[in-house]
Structure 1
Amino acid sequence: MFWRGVIGYLPVNVVQGVVGLLTIVAFTRLLSPAQFGDYALGLSVMALVHTAVFTWNEAAMARFWAGESVRDGGADHTATVYRAWLLLLAALPVAAIVAIALPMTPGLKLAVLAGLATVAPRTFVKIAQERRRAAGEVKGAALLDMGQTLGGFLLGAAFALAGLGGAAPLVGMALASLACLPFIVASEHRQQAGGRVERQRIGGYAAYGVPVALSLILALVLSSTDRFLLSAFLDESAVGVYHAGYSLANRSLDVVFIWLGAAGGPALIMALERGGRPALAVAAREQAQFMLLLTVPAATGLALVAQPLAQLMIGEDLALGAGRVTPWIAFSGLLAGLTTYYFHQAFTLGRKTGFLLVAMAVPAAANVVLNLILIPRFGLDGALWSTPASYGLGLLASALLGRRSVNLPIPWLTLLQAVGASALMALAVSRIPAYGGLLELALKATAGAAVYVAVIALIDAGALRSRGRDALRTFRARSAA
């Protein structure tokens, strides 16, 4: 199931990667630094409300589908999840009233309200995606993801050209989600046909999902506190510089981690439900090896090409500062991705999501404290130093606490191989002069990728050669049949 998802979600990965970079290219040019800061803050508010109110319900859909679907086709489960979604919508008007009452600049207030308007359609689509992923319906989940991603960018760019300011990308996201609804409402209604809404189920789902949501709120605190504090101690322009560099690194890595997570999470649940702990251990080790071999060099490469990439992708007003931000966030993004998409799986697999909340409280609290201490004294640099330190603490806490739920294997040899090959890649790239722009980026990216792939192939890291041969034989056998 994992490799089917890896292949099936690859187009989504490509679209997200391209759109993520185009978002930075377009909006750092179409928006002023202050407007880009408004967009960053509006996006953070949208994510916070979505996570605080709706995510526990989405998490329940994903985690319990594999078990519930063998009973009645999942009708009771699906009906209960969607009824809970309808009840939760009441929180959005309250959030909008609060946003209107708060003292904010007109541009920021519009961006925040646009973000809140995006939540309802996005959460409905998200529930539908989670059900499809859990059921192994890769194509349906992938199409929804690509439609929202590509449509949101194109519409957002159009509204930015029309002068809507920092709210433009968020309005585009809302309309793209609304456009997906006609394609999924009928099928989701059929899925819950005859299902009973049970209050006891909602209680059980909340007991599982609320700690997940609270942990994600802490993750948002971890990833967005620095923006609000930069705004408070400096200004929106500083937020724009930071968000541009942060997005350049984090989105590039996040695309890879989300891709692997979309394939890996449901596969681990299915392995545990159908094959028990032995099957889970095999599946988890395989996923961890593949994840390390992809993401360690990706983070290293981003740090190595930060300046030419920023010159090429980010508007002139933000490029210099963003290039300084990117290497720090590349390292932070690696730590965050490994924590979220591997070590956090232990808590959801073992249904001990209370430990997940504790694990996330450690880095979130550290991030707030470090930013409050360092930003007033060191400005933007203070935020840069706080971020990797906080994520490092988060990874350590999650790895240790996760052993109390499900002991996921750590492939130390593969980690050493990925780090060693990345070090050789960095040595080769460091020999290339800083020409600047596209030429430097192309030379360093090509040389780095060639060196890394050659080293990994030579030592057969993670047994990729043998797995590739097995996959090829399977493909040929199926084609012949």
Structure 2
Amino acid sequence: MLLRHTLYYFTARGLPGLVNFAALAVFTRLLAPEEFGRYALVVVGVGLANVILFQWLRLVLGRFYQVNRHSPDQFLGGILALFFCVAVPITGAGLVLALLWPDPIWRQLLLLAVMLLLTQAWFELSLSLAQASVKPGWYGRLSGTKALVSILVGGALAWIGWGSSAPIVGLILAHVVALLLFAVNAWRGLSLRLPARDVLYSQLRYGLPLTITFALSWVVSGSDRLIIAWIMDEQAVGEYAAGYDLVFQTLMLVLTIINTAAYPLAVNALERGGESAAMGQLKQNGQLIFVAAVAGCLGLIALGPQVVEIVIGEEFRSAAMMIFPWVALAGAIAGIKAFHFDLAFQLGVASHWLVLTGGIAAVVNVGLNLLLIPSFGILGAAWATLAAFVTALVTGAVIGCRIFSMPSVTPMLWRAVVVGAFAGGFAWAGANAFDGVWSGAVGGLMAGTFAGGFACWLVDVAGVRVMLSKRFRS
């Protein structure tokens, strides 16, 4: 079931992900580095506000939808009522702040940021509903429509000279179109009634610590851009963001696809079969997460020169190549931490401990950024990010095993190393067998994919060998 659902979500999220990479290629060619830098700052600021204000609702929906599957309308009505309770005052405060801002460029961008925050929050809440109800087709229609509309509208506006506002307006309209086409009916007819006090308390007790944790994770992955803008300039932010987003989002897309399929299965197993059933599911989930993280990291590093030249605009390439391998390592570690070790806190309903692990990582990140950026520039920011994610993984693994029983890491790690060595080695050999950029990228991708797939069969990752043998015999 895990492999089948992963394939479903690979289509549902993978194709929109490819469109997003095309958007990165478009915007790094149509926008100047300082314009792309302002856009990146808006996105990271909206991301922080989204995490602080609305992330807990998405987490509550994902964790407790199956628990309330016998009365979903009442549960979803409470979620929607809480959404509006947060959205209304925040909209007013955001508009006042935007109108009072002295810089006319940032005044316009802040107004757009308020609209982006609201549309993005409701869109992601709808995605969480699709994931929790195990409907990858619905999830895919939402994601695909959003990705396609954003690049078409944003690219057209950037081409006619809208600058930093172009991709932001594209994202706003993309969220609105996707919601109107595929999500309005899911929320229509619900009775907007706040949950009972004890229910709301249990939801807040679960969701708020995770919200703080995600906000601290934002400090690790997003505060570097603010510090770069403060110490350096907006152009440096644009150069850093282009390279960072290319490698980090590529790797996290793959891991998020797996987790999107895997996490509801783990929750279902826990609710229906107890901890023993959850342990069996977590073994399969963890194997896929570890293998994808390590193999994806090594494969990206092997194909880095070709990928950067194909996707990133010329003004951004040298900076992207400088930070590429370090961000790839950071992405692999961040994915393993978030999608495997953090499940101990979520399934054990002890998410408050994540505040400690996230807080330690955030302090490490900010301190190292302030120390390293003045001397090493954006490379220092990449080093700080890697060190912070390593700190978060180690502390999370040590504390999490005392909260909820997790499967042994050793079988996952050695399988990941074997598959990663096959995938990365053959990807490097395939890329260097050709002189052209496109031929090298395609050759390396195919060689790494086939070698990694063979290694997965060889070491039987998540039972793939048994599944294929059964299919072959049938």
TM-score bracket for this pair, using the shorter chain length? over 0.9
Contact 1:31 1:165 in 2 (8 A): yes
**Of residues 159, 163, 167 in structure 1, which corresponds to 2:157?**
159
Q: Residues 1-400 of structure 1: matches in 2 within 5 Å? A: 2-70=2-70, 73-89=71-87, 90-102=89-101, 104=103, 106-182=104-180, 183-190=182-189, 192-193=190-191, 197-400=195-398
SS of the aligned residue for 2:94 comes to: helix
Q: Residues 419-430 of structure 1: matches in 2 within 5 Å? A: 419-430=417-428
- 1-structure distance, mates of 2:14, 2:458: 27
Q: Deviations over 1:31-63 (max 9, x none)?
A: 100001011000011111111111112211111
- 2-structure distance, mates of 1:244, 1:128: 28
Name the amino acid aligned to 1:358.
Answer: L
Relative to 1, partners in 2 of residues 1:392 and 1:81: Cα closer, same or farther, differing over 3 Å? same
Contact 1:41 1:108 in 2 (8 A): no
- 2-structure distance, mates of 1:434, 1:233: 41
Name the amino acid aligned to 2:364.
Answer: A
Greater CA drift, 301-310 or 175-184: 175-184
Contact 1:35 1:107 in 2 (8 A): no
Contact 2:213 2:355 in 1 (8 A): yes
SS of the aligned residue for 1:9 comes to: helix
- 2-structure distance, mates of 1:259, 1:425: 19
Report the CA distance between 1:216 and its aligned residue.
0.8
- 1-structure distance, mates of 2:324, 2:95: 33
- 2-structure distance, mates of 1:459, 1:67: 36
Report the CA distance between 1:21 and its aligned residue.
1.3
SS of the aligned residue for 2:65 comes to: helix
Contact 2:81 2:194 in 1 (8 A): no
- 1-structure distance, mates of 2:91, 2:318: 38
Relative to 1, partners in 2 of residues 1:216 and 1:223: Cα closer, same or farther, differing over 3 Å? same
- 2-structure distance, mates of 1:234, 1:94: 30
Relative to 1, partners in 2 of residues 1:189 and 1:202: Cα closer, same or farther, differing over 3 Å? farther
Report the CA distance between 1:245 and its aligned residue.
0.7
Q: Deviations over 1:104-158 (max 9, x none)?
A: 5x44443343222112122223223222321222322222122222222222112
Unaligned residue ranges in structure 2 (runs of 5+): none
Report the CA distance between 1:471 and its aligned residue.
5.7
In the alignment, which residue of structure 1 is the partner of 2:466? Answer: 466
Name the amino acid aligned to 1:48.
Answer: L
Contact 1:84 1:202 in 2 (8 A): no
Aligned length: 470
Q: Deviations over 1:339-362 (max 9, x none)?
A: 111211111111111012112112
Contact 1:107 1:166 in 2 (8 A): no
Relative to 1, partners in 2 of residues 1:67 and 1:399: Cα closer, same or farther, differing over 3 Å? same
TM-score (norm. length: structure 1): 0.91
Contact 1:328 1:388 in 2 (8 A): yes
Contact 2:12 2:137 in 1 (8 A): no
In the alignment, which residue of structure 2 is the partner of 1:417? Answer: 415
Report the CA distance between 1:335 and its aligned residue.
0.7
- 1-structure distance, mates of 2:105, 2:13: 32
Relative to 1, partners in 2 of residues 1:107 and 1:273: Cα closer, same or farther, differing over 3 Å? same
- 1-structure distance, mates of 2:178, 2:208: 27
Name the amino acid aligned to 2:54.
Answer: F
Report the CA distance between 1:203 and its aligned residue.
2.8
Report the CA distance between 1:7 and its aligned residue.
2.8
Name the amino acid aligned to 2:188.
Answer: H
SS of the aligned residue for 2:68 comes to: helix
Q: Residues 433-452 of structure 1: matches in 2 within 5 Å? A: 435=435, 437-452=437-452
Relative to 1, partners in 2 of residues 1:185 and 1:17: Cα closer, same or farther, differing over 3 Å? closer
SS of the aligned residue for 1:165 comes to: coil
Name the amino acid aligned to 1:330.
Answer: A
Greater CA drift, 365-374 or 230-239: 230-239
Contact 1:51 1:217 in 2 (8 A): yes
Name the amino acid aligned to 1:93.
Answer: G
In the alignment, which residue of structure 2 is the partner of 1:479? Answer: none
- 1-structure distance, mates of 2:263, 2:56: 16
Q: Deviations over 1:267-313 (max 9, x none)?
A: 11111000000000000001111222223111111111212211111
Greater CA drift, 272-281 or 165-174: 165-174
- 1-structure distance, mates of 2:145, 2:60: 24
Report the CA distance between 1:472 and its aligned residue.
6.2
Relative to 1, partners in 2 of residues 1:91 and 1:346: Cα closer, same or farther, differing over 3 Å? same
- 2-structure distance, mates of 1:206, 1:389: 31
Contact 1:2 1:264 in 2 (8 A): yes
- 2-structure distance, mates of 1:240, 1:430: 28
Contact 2:56 2:208 in 1 (8 A): yes
Greater CA drift, 281-290 or 86-95: 86-95
Contact 2:50 2:117 in 1 (8 A): yes
Contact 1:39 1:108 in 2 (8 A): no
Report the CA distance between 1:384 and its aligned residue.
1.8
Report the CA distance between 1:185 and its aligned residue.
2.4
Contact 1:81 1:202 in 2 (8 A): no
Contact 1:46 1:112 in 2 (8 A): no
- 1-structure distance, mates of 2:428, 2:300: 13
Q: RMSD of the TM alignment (CA)?
A: 2.2
Contact 1:303 1:328 in 2 (8 A): no
Contact 1:295 1:334 in 2 (8 A): yes
- 2-structure distance, mates of 1:74, 1:429: 47
SS of the aligned residue for 2:78 comes to: helix
Contact 2:345 2:400 in 1 (8 A): yes
Contact 1:77 1:195 in 2 (8 A): no
Contact 1:292 1:415 in 2 (8 A): yes
SS of the aligned residue for 1:8 comes to: helix
Contact 1:363 1:394 in 2 (8 A): yes
Name the amino acid aligned to 1:308.
Answer: Q
SS of the aligned residue for 1:136 comes to: coil
